[in-house]
A and B are shown apart, each in its own frame.
Chain A
Amino acid sequence: MFAQNISIVFQWLVFLGTAFVAILASILMITRKNPIHSALLLILTFLCTAVLFFLLQNPFIAIIQILVYAGAIMMLIVFVIMLLELEEELVSPLKISFSKGVGVLTALLIMLGLFFAVFGGARGAIGEYTPEKVSQLGSAKVVGKLLFTDYLLPFEIVSILLMAAIVGAIVLAKQRPSEKE
């Protein structure tokens, strides 16, 4: 009995710990004065999410999450924070004004609504890719196969999108000749 349960228990433990850390880190993230602290805490949140992806038997996406989010995007953000030489916010970062209070309240209400919505669990049409099949085939392989057959068009469009983003970023961030003076 223990043997059957041990994996489930382990999973539960990992899940609870990771979830707790993720939520804690994100709450801390939005309350720090120092933006670098916020960036580091966000990285932690991303790592926790990656662990959750592992738990959901999708190692491929978990690795992609670490590589793209925690690696590339957060690096960009940290670079920009360093580049802009931001001073610390002198005022308390959570200066409460009326509209902000309203916003927070609304957000909490949404959260309650979402809780209500997900209460029954995931509902929807059942597909054919059971987790066992995916892990047997290899999740990367399955994703790759689908990417080049069913989802070819979005794939190509995303590549164009990325190119546009690159060009845009370069154009936007370029120093104008007059500013060099």
Chain B
Amino acid sequence: MGDRALPLEETAMLEFVWLIPLFPAIGFVINGLFGRQINRKAVGLVACAAIGLSAVFSSVLFFVLLKQPDYFFEKEIFSWIVSGQFAAAVGYQVDALSIVMALAVSWVSFFIHVYSIGYMHDDPGYPRYFTYLNLFVFMMLNLVLANNFLLMFVGWEGVGLCSYLLIGFWFEKDSASNAGKKAFVVNRVGDFGFLLGIFLLVTHFGTLNFSQIFASAPQVLTVSAATMIAVLLFIGATGKSAQLPLYVWLPDAMEGPTPVSSLIHAATMVTAGVYMVARCHVIYEMAPVALAIVAAVGVLTAIYAASIGFAQNDIKKVLAYSTISQLGYMFLGVGVGAYSAGIFHLMTHAFFKGLLFLAAGSVMHAMSGELDMRKMGGLRKLTPVTFWTFLIATLAIAGFPPLSGFFSKDEILWHAFKQSRLLWAIGFVAAGMTSFYMFRAVFMTFFRESRAPETVKKHIHESPKIMTVPLIILAGLSIVGGWVGIPHALGGANRFHQFLSTAIKVSHETAGHAASKVHIMLASNQPAAEIAKHGMTSTHSAVDPTEYVLMAASVGIALVGLAFAYLLYITKPGLLERLVSSWHRLHRLVFNKYYVDEIYEYLFVDSLKGLGRGLWKGADTFFIDGTVNGVADVAGILSNLTRRIQNGLVQSYALSMVVGGMVVVGYYVIRAIFF
């Protein structure tokens, strides 16, 4: 296969991969420089067109990539750093993993940009918003398309910056600017680990290029070195992807505009950590300890965040904790070696979580900015499109087949089960909890009578088309998006997994259960297309019946969650009140997010502030200022003393001369006498 001549134009199109990040960059520049001079409509148009072009071109390159041998293309744009032995370039790499990420990022961003035109319609900072949003997409695309760690880190930091700018978009509000700062600082803590990992990579490999590193990793790294690097990189991922213990910034990030929460904190930026682990799978495969840590942190975060979601009343906070929890699932997936499952869940999550946030924004729009679910209700009839799309997304996240969330979450749980029953069990319980709190949100917001005040009730209306159309599109994607990854157990070909396997070559990942054959072929480095074809044909080996059991159990626990939510919030609200009052202290603990923010403040923030204060008073005021002022004072004292020499009296000057003369004469006399 693959001897036919490839059409020249098509391959040449890959050379233009740099256009994908370039379009948003141009949008950023235009809106940044001229945003306030040009018409509002033009601003929105420029921003959406930039992303739209990126999305379309990514799709084109996807099809071109399918024709490449090995599904791989790398292009260096220009050489950035050349310093002695070390060289880093700006270059892009198009392979299965990066094109999947680029497609998800660009298309979801496009829908959210269109939605934003409606949502941010009345905001005075409209041009600034789109400028930052375009900058963000530019940075994110750099992150996923980069061919070396340094450019990826540039994108990593860049999205952190844009997150800060956009969280604190309404910077006049103290809470918003504080949330922005918190996000940036917590991210920075994680990035410190990431940087250390990069330093170790440079020390061991002398280069940061992905292809070079991953090709030579098994020879160059010892297990302990690989573990160290993997753990350090994962620390960066905990910060960026809001896992324990660096997740605290994400709930506060809800201060930003809702489309920002949707784009950055659900669909794209927070997934950068998962992408990074998948990209570095070669290193992680060499360090089983690191993988275990990743999986453990992921599943613990999943259940922990899900528990907090039980007691939150702010609809965006529920979704924020849900995001943290689902990210935990993604890390669970990559932690047990199921990299494509993790990326699959990343993609489906982008669809349904992005949709959930946009729908929440639509609810806020209808309720004149109200966020508290206790004041909502009865929106089912009044905002039908919002209701149905929200419901579809909830069904997806809870994992009901045949929506996308079922396939992706189930694949992760299946691989977790094969690795460790305990991991599966925790993930399983968390899935039930997810179903519960999401349906709780649905019931509180849309069902029963409206609990809103009269003034708000009068204004409840469905959102304009420019906001509802993206909702509908994303809902459609939430339904069908999982169908590219239907596992063999259910008769599908799991094309998603096979496609990604061309980029992520691991020996034990066996979504098709034809382990041995695929393994041999992978080891012999045959072209990817062939592997895919063989993978598809070798589905005839036996499917483990346990998989069916697990699937049924997943659906079951989701139904249980739904039932509980229905019971407590629709049929027997009295039961809810009694439960809350009898488990009063537990409820308060969970409602206050286990007081983690307070603990962090006490442990870290206060001690740092104390250190700062101490350094300020001690080192700076006392020591440095004292020294500087002391030097000045000494100069003053000395000059006061020496000033008296110049008193204007001629005779004292004559005296000085005489004394000087004596010194000279004395010198010669003494020299003559003694030497």
Establish whether A and B are touching in the complex (CB under 8 Å). Answer: yes
Interface residues of A (CB under 8 A from B): 99, 102-103, 106-107, 109-110, 113-114, 116-117
Q: Kindly identify which residue among A102, A103, A117 contacts B668, using a CB–CB cutoff of 8 Å.
A: A117
Q: Which residues of A contact B666 (CB under 8 A)?
A: 109, 113
In the complex, the chain B residue whose C-beta lies closest to that of A99 is: B655
Interface residues on B, range: 10 to 19
A99 to B658, CA, bound (A): 12
Docked-complex contact B662 and A99, CB < 8 angstroms:
no
- What are 15 A-B contacts defined by CB distance under 8 Å? A99-B652, A103-B655, A103-B658, A106-B659, A109-B662, A109-B666, A110-B658, A110-B661, A110-B662, A113-B666, A114-B665, A116-B672, A116-B673, A117-B665, A117-B668
Is the C-beta of B632 less than 8 angstroms from some C-beta in chain A?
A: no
In the complex, the chain B residue whose C-beta lies closest to that of A112 is: B669
Docked-complex contact A117 and B669, CB < 8 angstroms:
yes
A113 to B659, CA, bound (A): 13
B537 to chain A, nearest CB (A): 115
Docked-complex contact A106 and B669, CB < 8 angstroms:
no
Q: Which of B636-675 contact A (CB under 8 A)?
A: 651-652, 654-655, 658-659, 661-662, 665-666, 668-669, 672-673
Q: Kindly identify which residue among B654, B655, B665 contacts A113, using a CB–CB cutoff of 8 Å.
A: B665
**Extra inter-chain contacts (11) besides given A103-B654, A113-B666, A117-B672, CB under 8 Å:** A102-B655, A103-B658, A106-B662, A110-B661, A110-B662, A113-B668, A114-B665, A116-B669, A116-B672, A116-B673, A117-B665
Q: Which residues of A contact B665 (CB under 8 A)?
A: 110, 113-114, 117
In the complex, the chain B residue whose C-beta lies closest to that of A111 is: B665
In the complex, the chain B residue whose C-beta lies closest to that of A115 is: B669
B568 to chain A, nearest CB (A): 102
A107 to B651, CA, bound (A): 14
Q: Which residues of A contact B661 (CB under 8 A)?
A: 110
Q: Which residues of A contact B673 (CB under 8 A)?
A: 116
In the complex, the chain B residue whose C-beta lies closest to that of A102 is: B655
A109 to B661, CA, bound (A): 10
Q: Which residues of A contact B669 (CB under 8 A)?
A: 113, 116-117
Q: Which residues of A contact B655 (CB under 8 A)?
A: 99, 102-103, 106
The 3 closest A-B CB pairs, nearest first, are A113-B665, A113-B669, A103-B655
A114 to B665, CA, bound (A): 8
In the complex, the chain B residue whose C-beta lies closest to that of A103 is: B655
Q: Which residues of A contact B651 (CB under 8 A)?
A: 103
A117 to B655, CA, bound (A): 22
A68 to chain B, nearest CB (A): 24
A58 to B659, CA, bound (A): 34
Docked-complex contact B658 and A113, CB < 8 angstroms:
no
A37 to B145, CA, bound (A): 107
A117 to B673, CA, bound (A): 10
In the complex, the chain A residue whose C-beta lies closest to that of B660 is: A106
Q: Which residues of A contact B672 (CB under 8 A)?
A: 116-117
Q: Which residues of B contact A106 (CB under 8 A)?
A: 655, 658-659, 662
Q: Which residues of B contact A109 (CB under 8 A)?
A: 662, 666
In the complex, the chain A residue whose C-beta lies closest to that of B656 is: A103
A106 to B651, CA, bound (A): 14
In the complex, the chain B residue whose C-beta lies closest to that of A114 is: B665
A79 to chain B, nearest CB (A): 22
A99 to B662, CA, bound (A): 15
A109 to B659, CA, bound (A): 10
A37 to chain B, nearest CB (A): 21
A139 to chain B, nearest CB (A): 32
A110 to B657, CA, bound (A): 12
Which of B659, B668, B673 has its CB near the most chain A CB atoms (within 10 A)? B659
A120 to chain B, nearest CB (A): 10
Docked-complex contact A113 and B652, CB < 8 angstroms:
no
A107 to B658, CA, bound (A): 7
A101 to B661, CA, bound (A): 16
Q: Which of B200-214 contact A (CB under 8 A)?
A: none
In the complex, the chain B residue whose C-beta lies closest to that of A119 is: B672
Q: Which residues of B contact A110 (CB under 8 A)?
A: 658, 661-662, 665
A99 to B655, CA, bound (A): 8
A151 to chain B, nearest CB (A): 28
A117 to B665, CA, bound (A): 9
A114 to B662, CA, bound (A): 10
A117 to B662, CA, bound (A): 13
Q: Which residues of A contact B658 (CB under 8 A)?
A: 103, 106-107, 110
A91 to chain B, nearest CB (A): 15
A1 to B661, CA, bound (A): 46
A115 to chain B, nearest CB (A): 10
Q: Which residues of B contact A117 (CB under 8 A)?
A: 665, 668-669, 672
Q: Which residues of B contact A116 (CB under 8 A)?
A: 669, 672-673
B665 to chain A, nearest CB (A): 4
A103 to B654, CA, bound (A): 9
A148 to B455, CA, bound (A): 118
A103 to B660, CA, bound (A): 11
Q: Which residues of B contact A107 (CB under 8 A)?
A: 658
A123 to chain B, nearest CB (A): 12
A126 to chain B, nearest CB (A): 22
B644 to chain A, nearest CB (A): 11
B137 to chain A, nearest CB (A): 84
A112 to chain B, nearest CB (A): 8
In the complex, the chain A residue whose C-beta lies closest to that of B670 is: A113
A103 to chain B, nearest CB (A): 5
In the complex, the chain B residue whose C-beta lies closest to that of A116 is: B669
A94 to chain B, nearest CB (A): 13
Q: Which residues of B contact A114 (CB under 8 A)?
A: 665
In the complex, the chain A residue whose C-beta lies closest to that of B649 is: A99
In the complex, the chain B residue whose C-beta lies closest to that of A109 is: B662
A113 to chain B, nearest CB (A): 4
A116 to B661, CA, bound (A): 15
B270 to chain A, nearest CB (A): 83
Q: Which residues of B contact A102 (CB under 8 A)?
A: 655
In the complex, the chain B residue whose C-beta lies closest to that of A113 is: B665
A107 to chain B, nearest CB (A): 6
B656 to chain A, nearest CB (A): 10
B650 to chain A, nearest CB (A): 13
A35 to chain B, nearest CB (A): 17
- Mark interface residues in B303-331 (1 if CB within 8 Å of A CB, else 0): 00000000000000000000000000000
A113 to B668, CA, bound (A): 9
B511 to chain A, nearest CB (A): 104
A110 to B672, CA, bound (A): 15
In the complex, the chain B residue whose C-beta lies closest to that of A107 is: B658
A113 to B672, CA, bound (A): 11
A117 to B669, CA, bound (A): 7
B569 to chain A, nearest CB (A): 101
Q: Which residues of B contact A113 (CB under 8 A)?
A: 662, 665-666, 668-669
A102 to B654, CA, bound (A): 12
In the complex, the chain A residue whose C-beta lies closest to that of B652 is: A99
A96 to B655, CA, bound (A): 14
B28 to chain A, nearest CB (A): 76
Q: Which residues of A contact B668 (CB under 8 A)?
A: 113, 117
A102 to B655, CA, bound (A): 8
A162 to B668, CA, bound (A): 36
B360 to chain A, nearest CB (A): 91
B649 to chain A, nearest CB (A): 9
A149 to B462, CA, bound (A): 117
A103 to B659, CA, bound (A): 8
A21 to B536, CA, bound (A): 135
In the complex, the chain A residue whose C-beta lies closest to that of B654 is: A103
Q: Which of B442-493 contact A (CB under 8 A)?
A: none
Which of A103, A109, A113 has its CB near the most chain B CB atoms (within 10 A)? A113
